[in-house]
Chain A
Amino acid sequence: MRKMSRKTFIGSLAALGGGPADLLLARLNIPGRPLDPASLRAIGRVVLPSALGAPGVDRVVASFLMWVRNYHTGAEVLHGYGTAELTSTPEMPVRRWAGQLHDLDEVARATHGKPFTRLTVEARETLIRNALKDQRVQVVTVPVEAEHVIAALVSHFVSSAEARDLCYGAVIGKERCRPLGTGPNRPPRRTS
C-alpha cells in the first residue's frame, strides 16, 4: 500500500469537512480538553485572509491541529551560539487554548442563544474582538508561546510558505527545495 504523506493526510481530513473529520481531528489532540476543530474553523473564517477560501481555512486549521498533535514537550531545542545553556520545549498550553475556545462558545450561547460555530461571521468577529480586547495578542515566531489560541492559529499560518506567497503575490516558496536557478529572476506571480 502506498504510504500517505502528512500533507495528503491533512488535506483528506480537511476535505471531509465536519462530522467524522472533527471527531478524528479532535482525537489527534493531546490528552485533556481537546481543541475543537469546528470552533477553530469558525475562528479561521474570521481571522485568516478571505483569499484562502473555506477549503484553505480548513486546511490551515487541520495543519494547526496536526502541529499541536505532533508537539513534544521537553524536546531539546537548538542550542544557540555564544552560550552553554541547553533548553527544551515548554509544555504546550492546550488546556488554556481549549478553555479560550470554550469561553467563546459560552459567550455565544449567552448572548446569541446558539453555539459560536453557528453564528454569522460578523457576530463571530464581534465576539473575537471582545475576547481579544484586553489580551496582549501578537504574532509569535514560536506559536506555542502564544497567549491566545487565536494568536497561535494566526502565527501558525503566517509562518507558512503559503502565507508568504499570498502576502507578496508571488511564488517564493520559502524554505522549500527549489531549483537554484541561473540568474536573478523575479519570482513568478502567484495566480490563485
Chain B
Amino acid sequence: MTRVVEADICIIGSGISAAMVAEHVAEDRVARIVVVEAGGEVPPLAARYALRQRFLDYGETPWPKDHIEELTATGPLQSRSMCVGGLAMHWGGVTPRFSPEDFRLQTLYGVHADWPIGYDDLDPFYQEAEVRLGVAGEQGPPELDPRGKPFPMPALPLTYNLALLKDWAANAGIPMWSQPSAKNSIPYHGRAQCCRNDTCFPICPVGAKYSPDFTWNALRKSRRVELVTRTLVRRLIPAAGSTRIERAVGISLDDRAVPIEFRAKTFVLAGGYVWSSYLLLLSQSSRFPNGVANSSGLVGKYLTGHRNVQAFVKLPMQLYPGINEQHSLVTKKFMRPAKGDFYLRHDLRIWESTVGAEPRLRDDSGGLLLGDGLLTDWQRRAERGTARVRAYYDVLPDQESAVALDASKRTPWGDPLPKLTFRDSPASIEARGPTEERIKSLFAELARAGKGEILRTMVDAFQDHPAGGCRMGHDPTTSVTDGYGRTHDHENLFVVGAPTCVSGSCANATLTFSALSLRSAAMIAEAFPHRTRPPRNT
C-alpha cells in the first residue's frame, strides 16, 4: 500500500539550496514543508572531532556512508555525496559572489547568453545568503566588488603568511583581500568561532563553518519542517488535464516494496546540477515524452562550470605553512576583461603552501637522508616560502554539455542512471589554449615581481562548481525556468540553485546557488500566508 505524505511545499533534496528555501519560507510563512532526501543523516557535530582525526590519521572519510551505492553517474561527477546537507557538508566554505559582468555576457562581450536577472536583482539575496550562512568578508575595491550592505561578520584575519603574500601581489599591481568565507570570524548564530584547524574541507569539527545540517537541526527543532530521509523520488506526476505537478512518487530505500507518494501545492527541486535534471528527465510519460518541464528540450543541457590553472611559486620570503592553509587571498581584478583578441575572465587566489619544501628521504643525488640530515635538508628547503596561485577561468558551455539518461546502466529498481558530458562552446574551445597561456604568463609576471621561480604549473580539466541543466531565461523555447526558478511548463514546480545557472562564472559558486535559491524562496513564499505569531514549540 502506498504511503502518502501531504504538504504545502515538497522540497526534493536537502543540500544548501534546499536549506535556504526551507528556512526562508518557514521563517515567515505558514506552510507545511516536507523535505525529501534520498540519503541518510550525517554524524552530529559532537562526533566530528573524532571523525576528523580518522581522516587526518588514515584518510578515512569523515562522512561515512554519505552516498547511495546504487546511485551514481558516468562522467565527471562532482561528488558522490547524497545525504542530509548534501555536498555542502564537506564544502570548503568559500563564498565569493559572481561579478556583475557574469549576468550580461552576451550584451557586454557578445558571448554565450545573458541571464534574465542582473547582479542588482540578486544583490539583496546575496546579502540574505551571507547573513544566513554567516559570511566573514572584507570589502574589496567597490568598483570590482560591489555590494549593497557590509558583510555580516568581519573578515577572517590575514595570517602572517597571507600578509606577506598580499604585499607580493600588490608589488605586481594586483589588489588582493581576504577571501570571503562562510566561517565564523566571531561566534555567530550559536556556532563557534573558527579556530583555523585547517580541515574546513572536508570537515569542520567545531561548527565554525556553515553546513546545512545546522539549518535542518533548527528547523526540525522548531517543527517547521519535516525531513523524510532515505527516500528517493523517482517521478514527478502532473495532474490529469493540467500542467500542475500533483505528486512526487518514489521509494523508501530501506523498504523498497513500499511506494511513497508526496502531494503538495508547490514542488521544489533542489537536487543539484545532476539529480534535478535527472528527475525531470525520468518523469517522462505519454503526455510528457521528454520528461517534465522539458518543452524546450533543454532539460539537462548547458552544464557549465570553470576550469583552473594553478602554479606553485617559490619566493624569497620565510613563510610558516600551517598557520591557516585553507584560507586565501582573492582578487576580482581579472573578472572584468580588458578589450582583447579573445574573451578571457578569471579569478585569482593565493594560498600558503608546503610544495617544494617537503621533507624527503633522498636528496637530489639520491643520497639517503636520515636523522639530522633529513631535518637539515628540510629546513634548507623551507627557508624560502611557497605560494600556491590559482585562477578559475570562464568556460562557456555548449548546448550538448549535458546530463542525459543512460539506458545501458540502471538502478536495481530499473531506472536508467545519468551520464554526464561536459562540452565547451566553440568559442571556448578556441579560447582555451590562449586563455591558459595568458594565465601562465600572469603567474610568470607574479613570480618575477617577487624574484621568485615557478616550481610547477598544472591545468585541471575538471570543471569545478558545476551548474546548469535547467537554465533560467525569459524565453520558454531557450530556457527551462524563469528568473525565479519557476519552470515555464509547470506553474507549481520550481528548480532552485545550481541547475538554474546560465553560466558558471570563474569563482566558487555556492553563495550564488544560495542567493538564487533565496530569490526563488521569496517567490514561492508569496503563495502562503504570513505568520502572525511565533510558532508553538510544544
Chain A residues at the B interface, C-beta cutoff of 8 Å: 46-51, 67, 70-72, 75-79, 81-84, 86, 89, 125, 128-129, 132-133, 137-139, 142, 144, 151, 154, 158, 161, 163-164, 166-170, 172-187
List of 4 A-B pairs having minimum Cβ-Cβ separation, nearest first? A174-B322, A184-B163, A177-B195, A82-B462
Contact B374 A49 (CB under 8 A): yes
Chain B residues at the A interface, C-beta cutoff of 8 Å: 54-65, 67, 72-81, 156-160, 162-164, 185, 193-199, 202, 205-206, 320-323, 325, 358-362, 368, 370-372, 374-375, 378-379, 382, 462, 464
Which of B76, B193, B197, B321 is close to A82, meaning CB atoms less than 8 Å apart?
B76
Which of B206, B320, B464 is close to A177, meaning CB atoms less than 8 Å apart?
B206
Instruction: Known A-B contacts: A174-B321, A175-B56, A184-B158. Give 14 more (CB < 8 A).
Output: A47-B371, A49-B375, A86-B80, A89-B59, A129-B368, A151-B361, A161-B322, A163-B359, A167-B379, A174-B325, A175-B197, A178-B196, A184-B159, A184-B160
Distance, CA A24 to CA B163, complexed state (A): 48
Show 16 A/B contacts (Cβ-Cβ < 8 Å), sorted by A.
A47-B371, A51-B372, A75-B64, A76-B61, A76-B64, A78-B60, A79-B80, A81-B79, A81-B464, A89-B60, A138-B362, A158-B359, A174-B325, A177-B196, A180-B196, A183-B157
Contact B462 A186 (CB under 8 A): no
Nearest chain-A residue to B72 (Cβ)? A84
In the complex, how many angstroms separate the beta carbon of A145 from the nearest chain B beta carbon?
Answer: 10
Contact B57 A84 (CB under 8 A): no
Contact B322 A164 (CB under 8 A): yes
Which of B60, B194, B197, B202 is close to A75, meaning CB atoms less than 8 Å apart?
B60
Distance, CA A49 to CA B158, complexed state (A): 32
Given contacts A47-B374, A180-B156, contact A132 B195 (CB under 8 A): no
Chain B neighbourhood of A133, CB < 8 A? 368
Contact B322 A70 (CB under 8 A): no
In the complex, how many angstroms separate the beta carbon of A128 from the nearest chain B beta carbon?
Answer: 7
Contact B362 A78 (CB under 8 A): no
Distance, CA A6 to CA B315, complexed state (A): 39
Which of A137, A167, A181 is close to B375, meaning CB atoms less than 8 Å apart?
A167
Contact B371 A180 (CB under 8 A): no
Distance, CA A79 to CA B90, complexed state (A): 11
Distance, CA A176 to CA B56, complexed state (A): 11
Chain B neighbourhood of A138, CB < 8 A? 360-362
Contact A132 B78 (CB under 8 A): no
Chain A neighbourhood of B382, CB < 8 A? 167-168
Q: Which of B322, B371, B378 has the most CB of A within 10 A?
A: B371
Interface of B is mostly: loop
Chain A neighbourhood of B60, CB < 8 A? 72, 75-78, 89
Chain B neighbourhood of A128, CB < 8 A? 370
Distance, CA A139 to CA B370, complexed state (A): 11
Chain A neighbourhood of B76, CB < 8 A? 82-83
Given contacts A47-B370, A177-B197, A184-B160, contact A86 B358 (CB under 8 A): no
Which of B77, B163, B193 is close to A180, meaning CB atoms less than 8 Å apart?
B193
Chain B neighbourhood of A154, CB < 8 A? 359, 361, 374
Distance, CA A176 to CA B322, complexed state (A): 9
Distance, CA A76 to CA B374, complexed state (A): 33
Which of B79, B197, B321, B372 is close to A178, meaning CB atoms less than 8 Å apart?
B197
Nearest chain-B residue to A176 (Cβ)? B197
Chain A neighbourhood of B185, CB < 8 A? 180
In the complex, how many angstroms separate the beta carbon of A140 from the nearest chain B beta carbon?
Answer: 9
Nearest chain-B residue to A71 (Cβ)? B58
Which of B63, B162, B371, B464 is close to A49, meaning CB atoms less than 8 Å apart?
B371
Distance, CA A170 to CA B73, complexed state (A): 47
Contact B462 A81 (CB under 8 A): yes
Distance, CA A154 to CA B193, complexed state (A): 34
Given contacts A75-B58, A181-B157, contact A82 B360 (CB under 8 A): no
